[in-house]
Each structure stands twice: as structure tokens, then as C-alpha cells.
């Protein structure tokens, strides 16, 4: 990001404006990115990009009333489910209704976060010009503030998908989930820590968005960090007050009829509903990028990539989950993670039809399309977490081993030398 | 409904529905049932002329009313997209209880005005803002008042004069209206009726096809004021119409030292000239109050060149970080070449270039 900022702004004609990806620009060299060369030539990559652009355009041209009706139907279902859930948990004296209430509330939160929140905040429905589904205004029923989540997810994760050192979603700074990540002693606890994160996942997303680690490494400014902290605290206050104070407090009205435990039961119901949503979103999200066959990339290989290469990186860096239609709705169609990463801003209900085209292209170019049943993908993620938690034999893979420290130092020095060399050479800018 | 509305929009309720508002829930029951969002049902669409219509609306309880001269953001949903335009209120403030109207001239390129004119049906629900605008009559209306309008600029002025009539205003009111021809004139019957009133002078001037034996001819001129016996320095004057008319009136008033008596409103009609070269017009950054000649680069790049630092992410139209409101004007998507010209719509500035004059909230 900082790199593109330095690039001079050249006003150019609006005609034939080439909006080729600026995702990773190497200011010192115009060497083409090497992503995808094992599958196809540069010409084919170009053609691949064009074909996917055409798929995107075809869907965009077709957006209309049916897409608007769909998202409104989902919103209606979400609101109905929420209201039913809130009513249900006010009857702790009648267990079947109480439990149904918890489930409805969990369902409401899942719909709000996945099919509505995630997708709306990607701008998938901005074309409707309806404030209720406007990406810049939507705030979701989740501890993480929308603004910081959109930065970390829409921008960082979706632009630098699966690039080591750029995509902070690889292992969420906590887990070793890929061979190319250095191993540290804390990774021995990969599996138990993942289990705990699963239960409190919304708090994890919020913490991820505060970017304390980035601040401590000097990668973001103090003002930036303070802003994130402030927004997070404000959102925490609102969410905690609503779920754990205000609604249980309304339950005080039940005390004379039911007993002192009524507000407590309502509090517990809210906690359980949040945990249901956390477990579900954790599973879907981990299955989207962490199964074994998903590929990751090095920063050097992705610099100066073309639109086709960007598409290819998204394709190879994501994994789908197969299932029936209600399942896809509950995942926010993130079960079509590949299609979502290729086209993050087209309405998610279009991913199944887009998948047909993607599969055709995958076949045409002999590529890999990562997909499988939920059980298969979950098992693969668990295996990865378990396997990669073990201390590797290769000393270069151990983060704090003398060998890997020396390797990193050598890399840093070579990079510095290269930059100096490039700075001394006469500027060859086009 | 007042107390209920107040309760529904109160903080305790907001904290129970957080992060959404009560309207998100009420909307699921019925769109008119909103505590804060203004909605209205179309009562009737009346044809004024061949290309102008008046839409009579019955707003929900969230509507706070209007002052004559104000306008309202008017949104209709067509094929899933809400299209918003600004229209002036044309009805009297004392009109039939619970309704008001806007009057619109269909513009050849105007999607919403055309839709309104040809397809809007009674019972349709439309999305409104509260009434906005400073071009309004003072609380204490002075004895001498001059209203000047040109073309479809008549609408806000019509709301003023109708309100004055209905509230029994006794001062002298002169209404000077310029239209191309009698066929282009809106509210003809009402104007005829107004002309009957003792304290009101209605003067209509047809610039292209003057009426036979008309007292006044041609575009606005200082002689028109003289003929009507109006002293500009002592007459509060309201002018609404095309830029040319406003410029002439302003120059005349400045020359006569009466500029402080003048209230102006431009009547803008959005127009897109697709055949013109791309890089024309002015790009206005509304919040920063900066104007720049359109260089043909993306709005993001032009904003940066102008010294602004808008938020951005991927710069490739993927991440949605750089979205801002485009207040008005037309933009073209650099990849799809699609043109969008809606008022008050959200655009990604990293992949949109301005076509002609554009105003963005940056």
C-alpha cells in the first residue's frame, strides 16, 4: 500500500483507462510477477483475466429487482428470526420455547453476519442505493466495528490474499496453518488455541482489527491505532450493553412470576446465541482458506502481477464447501469462497451461477479447483493445524533458530543492496 | 403518534436494537411505518403540460412539513435501484391536510423525471428526505414582494404564492414568469385564477412565442420592472430559474444597488453529454470546497492531485474502501464503461472518471 502511494499521479485520458491491479507494485523494478507460470504462459494469463472480466461484467449487467428482492427477503427472515428469538428467550420457564428462542437468535446473528453483513459491507448491494444495504453505513451485530473490519478484510485480505507478510488472515497471527510460516514454540498449542478462538471468534475478529501487533511493529501510526482502539471500545460497549445488560434487565419483570433466575437465563441465552454464531462463522471461514490444498504466495512472486494473475492467486488461494441451498445461505455463500474471492463485490447469490463459468475455465487451463464436503474441509483444517504445530525438522523453518535468523538477515541485506543499486541506476520510468 | 414516535427513536430503544435502528424492524412490517425515515404514498399524478406533471403525495408521520420554496430529495425504486432527484415542493402550505405536491418537468435525459411523468402510479411508495433549502419566505412577509421565475423554476415560487393566497396575505405581490411559450407553461389555470386577486399582479412573458398584444416582451430587462412600477431597492425579490435569467436579474439589482433584496435559487437540470470529449467540465470536491478542471483521470487520482487524501484501498475497484457520495453529475466506470448519473449515489472513486461537471462529497 505504501508503495503505490509513492507512485506519481499521472493524469491520463479516461479513454482506455487501464485499471489493472495495483495490488503490489515494485517501485524498483518492472519485472513481471511469476504467479501462475507453472500453469500457463503470460498470454494465457492475459486471456484468463479477460474471460473472468467478461463473467463479472455479464453478472453486473444482469443485476436488478430479483437481487434486491432476495437481499430484502433475507433481511426480513433475519429480523423475524431475531424477534422470535428475543420472545423465545423471555420464556425460560418453558424449556422447548426457550431453547427454540436461543436457536432463532443464533440464526439471526448468523444471517446478520454472513449473508447480510459480510456481503453488504463488500459493497455487493451498493448499486441499489438503499441506505439499509449501503456498505459505508452498515454496522453488523458483531463486536468488531465495521470500519476496521472492512479495512482488514475487504482491502488487506482481499487484495493481498494469501501473500505471506501481507495477508494478515493467514493464521490470524496466532496459528501456523501453512508450511511457509515460520514455526514458534507457541504453535504447539495450535489446536487447543483454535478451539478457544472458535468460541470467542467475534472477539478475535475485533482484536485482529485493532492491529496492536502492527502498531507495536511500527507499521501503523499511533493516531491510526488510537482510532481503532476507540472504535473497538465503543462497539464493545454497545454490544455488551445490549446482549448482556439491557435485554437481561428487561427480564427483571419476570422475577415476581418466575424467580430470580429469569434474567440470568436470558443472559445465558444471549451468550449461547453468540457462541453458536461464533462457532459457525469460525468453521466456515477457516474452511475457506486453510484446507491443505490451498496455496500461499511469496511477496516477490506477486509483485507487478496482472489482472489474470491476481484472479489466479484468488482461485488458488481459496477453497469451497459443497452443500445444499440453505447451507449456502447460512454461510453467506462463502461456501463459494473461490467465486467470492474472484468477484468480491457481486451479490453472493450469484456465486452458484458464476461457479459454472469458473469451473469451465479451470478445466480449460488445467487448474485446481479446491472444493469438498464440509466434513472433508474441516478434517483437512484440523489435520493442518495439528501437523504444522509440531516442531519441524528443518531448522530453517523454525522462526527463532540461528539458521532462519541468519537467512532473514541475509534476505534483508540483499533487498537493501538491490534497492540502493536501483536508486543509483538512472531512472527508467515509463 | 407523537409520543410513540419519540419513544421509538429514543436512546433506550436504540440500545436494544443496536447496531440497527427501530426503522430496520418497522420496515419489515410496512415501509410507511417508519419512525424516522420519511416515506410517502403517491395520491395522484396530474399532467400539467405535455412534459410536466404534479405528483400529490401523502407522507408518513415522520415528515416534518416544509416552508414554501423548499425542495425535497425524491427517491423512486426502479428495477431494484433507488433513483434520487431533488424536486421543489409546489403546493401551498395550507393545502389539503396531510398532503403536499412536487411538480416536475420531464427532462429528455432525466431518468427520474421521465419515469415520474410516464410511469409513476398512484399508491406507489416513494422515499423522501425532509424538506431542505434556504430559498424560503421570511416569517414576516413584507408588504412588497416580487417573485421572478423562468421555465420550470416556477415550482418553488408557485408554492410561495399559493401559500400567500391561502393564508390571506394582503401585501402587494408581483409574479413575473418567463416561459418559452404558453404550451410550456405549468399551472396555467391556477395562474389565471391568481391574476383575479386584487393585490396580486401576474405577468407572464413568452420569450419565443409572445402572446399577441403582450405588455412585455423578450427576456428579463430592467424596463420590465419599470413598466410594473417596482422599486427594486424596496422590494424583497425571489428569483428561481436557469442560470442566464439569474445572472441578468443579479446584474440589474447590483447596478441599482438592490442586491441585498435578492434571494436566488438555480434550477438545475442534470444533463449528460456523452458525445462530448470525456475530459471536460469541472470536478468539485464539495466538503473541501475545491474545484478542479476534469483531467480525465479517476476521481481518486484527481482528488489526490488536488491535495486531498481520500481513503482508498486496492485502487482496483475490489475492496470498496474509497466509496463516497456523488452529489450530482455523471461518472463512467473505467472497466465497464457504464455511465451513472444519479443524484446522491455511492461510487468507488478509484474506478470512476467524471463525465462533465461532477460534484462529490470529498
The reported pLDDT for the residue numbered B172 is 93
Residue B348 in contact with residue B296, Cβ under 8 Å? no
Q: A134, B81: Cβ pair inside 8 Å?
A: no
DSSP annotation string for A370-430: ----HHHHHHHHHHHHHHHHSPPSSGGGBTTSHHHHHHHHHHHHHHHHHHHHHHHSPP---
The reported pLDDT for the residue numbered B41 is 97
pLDDT along chain A (430 residues), means of 10: 30 34 72 91 94 92 95 98 97 97 98 97 91 92 96 92 93 92 95 97 96 91 95 98 96 93 97 98 97 93 90 96 97 97 94 97 96 97 96 92 90 85 64
The reported pLDDT for the residue numbered A1 is 32
Instruction: Reply yes or no on whether the pLDDT at B110 is more than 80.
Output: no
Using an 8 Å CB-CB cutoff, list chain A residues near B318: 154, 158-159, 344-345
Distance, C-alpha B64 to centroid of its chain: 18
The reported pLDDT for the residue numbered A26 is 79
Task: Tell me the three cell numbers of residue A174.
Answer: 496466532
The helix-helix angle for A190-199 and A261-289 (nearest 10°) equals 130
Using an 8 Å CB-CB cutoff, list chain A residues near B336: 57, 60
Q: B80, A68: Cβ pair inside 8 Å?
A: yes
The length of chain A, given as a count of residues: 430
Cβ-Cβ pairs closer than 8 A, A with B, add up to 153
Pick from A19, A75, A247: which is nearest to B334 by CB? A19
Query: What is d(CA B176, CA B42) in angstroms, rounded to the nearest whole number?
Result: 31
If contacts are CB pairs under 8 Å, which of residues 5-24 in chain B contact chain A? 12, 15-16, 18-20, 24
Q: A159, B16: Cβ pair inside 8 Å?
A: no
User: Please, which residues have CB within 8 angstroms of residue A88's CB and are 6 or more apart in sequence?
Assistant: A97, A98, A99, A100, A101, A102, A104, A105
Query: What is d(CA A307, CA A48) in angstroms, rounded to the nearest whole number?
Result: 9
Instruction: Reply yes or no on whether the pLDDT at B333 is more than 90.
Output: no
The reported pLDDT for the residue numbered B338 is 80
Query: What is d(CA A68, CA B18) in angstroms, rounded to the nearest whole number?
Result: 24
- Tell me how crowded residue A305 is: count the other CB atoms within 10 A of its CB: 26
User: Please, which residues have CB within 8 angstroms of residue A391's CB and are 6 or more apart in sequence?
Assistant: A183, A188, A398
Residue of A nearest to B324 (CA): A136
The reported pLDDT for the residue numbered A212 is 94
3-state secondary structure of B127: strand
Residue of B nearest to A345 (CA): B318
B355 phi/psi in degrees, rounded to 5 = -115, 105
The predicted-structure confidence for B252-277, as pLDDT tens digits, reads as follows 999 999 999 999 887 755 444 454 44
Using an 8 Å CB-CB cutoff, list chain B residues near A65: 79-80
Q: B304, A9: Cβ pair inside 8 Å?
A: yes
User: From the candidates A55, A155, A304, A349, which should be mutated to test the interface with B, based on the most B CB atoms within 10 A?
Assistant: A155
A120 phi/psi in degrees, rounded to 5 = -60, -40
The predicted-structure confidence for B168-219, as pLDDT tens digits, reads as follows 999 999 999 999 888 888 999 999 999 998 899 999 999 888 888 788 888 9
State what percent of residues in chain B have pLDDT above 90. Answer: 54
Closest CA to A99 of A113, A84, A110: A84
Q: B82, A130: Cβ pair inside 8 Å?
A: yes
Instruction: Reply yes or no on whether the pLDDT at B330 is more than 60.
Output: yes
**Long-range contacts from A281-284, C-beta under 8 angstroms, 24+ separation:** A281/A110, A281/A113, A281/A114, A281/A201, A281/A202, A282/A197, A282/A198, A282/A201, A283/A198, A283/A374, A283/A378, A284/A114, A284/A321, A284/A331, A284/A332, A284/A334, A284/A335
Query: What is d(CA A210, CA B25) in angstroms, rounded to the nearest whole number?
Result: 31
Residue A257 in contact with residue A181, Cβ under 8 Å? no
**Nearest C-alpha of chain B: how many angstroms from A80?**
8
Q: pLDDT class for B278, splitting at 50, 70, 90? A: low
User: Please, which residues have CB within 8 angstroms of residue B324's CB and are 6 or more apart in sequence?
Assistant: B310, B346, B347, B349, B360, B361, B362
Q: Is the pTM for the entire model greater than 0.80?
A: yes
Distance, C-alpha A22 to centroid of its chain: 20
- Which of A283-292, B243-252, B277-286 comes out lowest in average pLDDT? B277-286
The reported pLDDT for the residue numbered B217 is 85
Question: What average pLDDT does this structure show over B76-92?
Answer: 89
Cα distances (Å, whole numbers) of residue A95 to A89, A99, A100, A265, A274: 9, 6, 8, 11, 19
The reported pLDDT for the residue numbered A9 is 27
Could you list the beta-strand ranges (E) of B151-235: 172-179, 200-206
Query: What is d(CA A321, CA A316) in angstroms, rounded to the nearest whole number?
Result: 15
User: From the candidates B29, B306, B320, B322, which should be mutated to test the interface with A, based on the most A CB atoms within 10 A?
Assistant: B320
The reported pLDDT for the residue numbered A2 is 32
Is A12 in the B-facing interface, judged by CB distances under 8 Å? yes
Question: What average pLDDT does this structure show over B7-15?
Answer: 93
Buried b (16+ CB within 10 A) or exposed e, B258-280: beebbbbbebeebebeeeeebbe
- What ipTM does the predicted assembly reach? 0.88
Is B301 in the A-facing interface, judged by CB distances under 8 Å? yes
Is A241 in the B-facing interface, judged by CB distances under 8 Å? yes
Instruction: Reply yes or no on whether the pLDDT at B145 is more than 90.
Output: yes
The length of chain B, given as a count of residues: 362
Query: What is d(CA B195, CA B197) in angstroms, rounded to the nearest whole number?
Result: 6
- Tell me how crowded residue B124 is: count the other CB atoms within 10 A of its CB: 15
Amino acid at each position: 500500500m505504501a508503495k503505490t502511494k509513492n507512485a506519481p499521479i499521472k493524469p491520463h485520458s479516461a479513454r482506455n483507462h487501464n485499471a489493472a491491479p495495483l495490488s503490489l507494485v515494485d517501485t524498483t523494478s518492472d519485472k513481471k510477477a511469476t504467479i501462475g507460470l507453472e500453469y500457463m504462459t503470460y498470454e494465457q494469463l492475459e486471456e484468463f483475466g479477460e474471460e473472468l472480466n467478461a463473467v463479472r461484467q455479464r453478472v453486473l449487467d444482469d443485476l436488478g429487482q430479483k437481487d434486491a428482492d432476495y437481499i430484502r427477503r433475507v433481511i426480513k427472515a433475519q429480523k423475524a428470526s431475531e424477534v422470535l428469538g428475543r420472545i423465545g428467550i423471555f420464556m425460560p420457564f418453558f424449556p422447548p420455547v426457550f431453547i427454540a428462542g436461543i436457536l432463532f437468535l443464533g440464526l439471526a446473528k448468523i444471517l446478520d453476519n454472513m449473508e447480510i453483513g459480510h456481503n453488504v459491507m463488500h459493497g455487493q448491494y451498493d448499486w441499489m442505493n438503499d441506505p439499509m444495504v449501503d456498505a459505508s453505513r452498515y454496522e453488523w451485530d458483531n463486536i468488531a466495528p465495521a470500519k476496521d473490519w472492512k479495512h482488514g478484510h475487504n482491502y488487506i485480505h482481499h487484495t493481498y490474499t494469501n501473500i505471506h507478510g501481507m495477508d494478515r488472515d493467514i493464521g490470524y497471527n496466532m496459528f501456523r496453518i501453512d508450511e511457509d510460516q515460520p514455526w514458534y514454540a507457541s504453535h504447539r498449542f495450535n489446536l487447543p488455541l483454535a478451539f478457544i478462538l472458535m468460541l470467542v471468534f467475534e472477539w478475535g475478529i475485533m482484536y485482529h482489527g485493532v492491529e496492536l501487533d502492527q502498531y507495536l511493529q511500527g507499521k501503523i501510526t499511533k493516531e491510526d491505532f488510537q482510532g481503532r482502539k476507540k472504535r473497538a471500545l465503543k462497539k464493545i460497549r454497545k454490544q455488551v450493553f445490549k446482549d448482556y445488560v439491557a435485554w437481561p434487565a428487561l427480564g427483571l419483570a419476570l422475577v415476581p412470576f418466575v424467580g430470580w433466575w429469569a434474567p440470568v437465563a436470558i443472559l445465558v441465552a444471549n451468550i449461547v446465541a453468540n457462541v453458536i454464531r461464533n462457532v459457525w462463522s469460525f468453521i466456515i471461514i477457516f474452511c475457506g482458506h486453510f484446507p491443505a490444498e490451498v496455496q500461499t504466495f511469496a511477496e516477490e512472486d506477486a509483485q507487478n502481477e496482472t489482472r489474470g494473475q491476481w484472479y489466479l492467486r484468488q482461485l488458488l488461494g481459496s477453497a469451497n464447501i459443497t452443500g445444499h441451498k440453505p447451507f449456502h445461505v447460512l454461510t453467506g455463500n462463502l461456501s463459494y469462497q473461490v467465486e467470492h474471492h474472484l468477484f468480491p463485490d457481486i451479490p453472493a447469490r450469484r456465486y452458484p451461477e458464476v461457479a459454472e463459468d469458473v469451473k469451465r475455465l479451470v478445466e480449460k487451463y488445467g487448474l485446481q479447483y479446491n472444493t469438498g464436503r464440509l466434513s472433508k474441509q474441516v478434517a483437512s483444517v484440523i489435520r493442518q493445524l495439528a501437523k504444522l504445530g509440531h516442531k519441524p525438522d528443518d531448522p530453517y523453518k523454525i522462526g527463532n533458530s540461528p539458521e532462519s535468523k541468519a537467512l532473514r538477515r541475509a534476505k534483508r541485506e540483499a533487498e537493501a543492496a538491490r534497492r540502493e543499486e536501483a536508486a543509483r541506476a538512472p531512472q527508467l520510468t515509463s | 403518534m407523537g409520543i410513540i414516535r419519540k419513544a421509538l427513536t429514543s436512546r433506550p430503544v436504540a440500545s436494544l436494537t443496536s447496531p440497527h435502528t427501530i426503522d430496520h424492524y418497522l420496515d419489515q412490517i410496512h415501509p410507511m411505518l417508519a419512525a424516522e425515515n420519511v416515506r410517502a404514498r403517491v395520491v395522484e399524478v396530474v399532467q400539467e403540460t405535455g412534459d410536466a406533471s404534479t405528483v400529490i403525495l401523502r407522507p408518513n408521520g415522520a415528515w416534518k412539513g416544509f416552508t414554501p420554496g423548499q425542495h425535497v430529495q425524491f427517491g423512486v425504486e426502479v428495477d431494484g435501484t433507488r433513483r434520487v432527484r431533488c424536486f421543489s415542493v409546489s403546493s401551498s402550505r395550507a393545502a389539503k391536510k396531510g398532503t403536499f405536491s412536487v411538480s416536475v418537468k420531464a427532462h429528455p435525459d432525466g431518468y427520474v423525471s421521465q419515469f415520474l411523468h410516464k410511469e409513476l402510479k398512484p399508491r406507489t411508495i416513494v422515499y423522501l428526505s425532509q424538506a431542505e433549502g434556504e430559498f424560503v419566505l421570511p416569517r414576516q412577509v413584507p408588504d412588497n414582494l416580487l417573485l421572478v421565475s423562468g421555465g420550470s423554476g416556477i415550482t418553488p415560487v408557485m408554492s410561495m404564492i399559493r401559500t400567500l393566497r391561502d393564508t390571506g396575505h394582503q401585501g402587494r405581490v408581483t409574479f413575473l414568469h418567463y416561459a418559452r411559450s404558453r404550451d410550456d407553461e405549468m399551472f396555467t389555470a391556477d395562474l389565471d385564477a391568481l391574476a383575479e386577486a386584487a393585490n396580486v399582479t401576474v405577468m407572464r412573458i413568452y420569450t419565443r412565442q409572445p402572446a399577441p398584444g403582450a405588455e412585455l416582451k423578450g427576456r428579463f430587462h430592467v424596463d420590465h420592472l419599470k413598466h410594473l412600477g417596482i422599486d427594486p431597492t424596496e422590494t424583497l425579490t425571489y428569483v428561481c430559474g436557469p442560470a442566464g435569467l439569474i445572472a441578468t436579474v443579479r446584474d440589474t439589482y447590483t447596478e441599482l444597488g438592490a442586491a441585498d433584496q435578492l434571494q436566488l435559487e438555480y434550477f438545475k437540470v442534470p444533463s449528460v453529454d456523452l458525445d462530448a470529449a470525456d475530459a471536460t467540465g469541472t470536478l468539485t470536491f464539495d466538503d473541501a470546497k475545491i474545484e478542479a478542471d476534469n483531467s480525465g483521470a479517476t476521481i481518486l487520482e484527481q482528488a489526490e492531485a488536488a491535495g486531498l487524501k481520500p481513503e482508498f484501498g486496492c485502487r482496483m475497484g475490489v475492496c470498496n474502501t474509497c466509496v463516497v457520495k456523488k452529489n450530482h453529475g455523471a461518472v463512467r466506470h473505467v472497466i465497464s464503461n457504464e455511465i451513472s448519473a444519479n443524484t446522491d449515489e455511492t461510487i468507488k472513486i478509484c474506478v470512476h472518471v467524471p463525465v462533465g461537471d461532477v460534484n462529490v462529497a470529498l
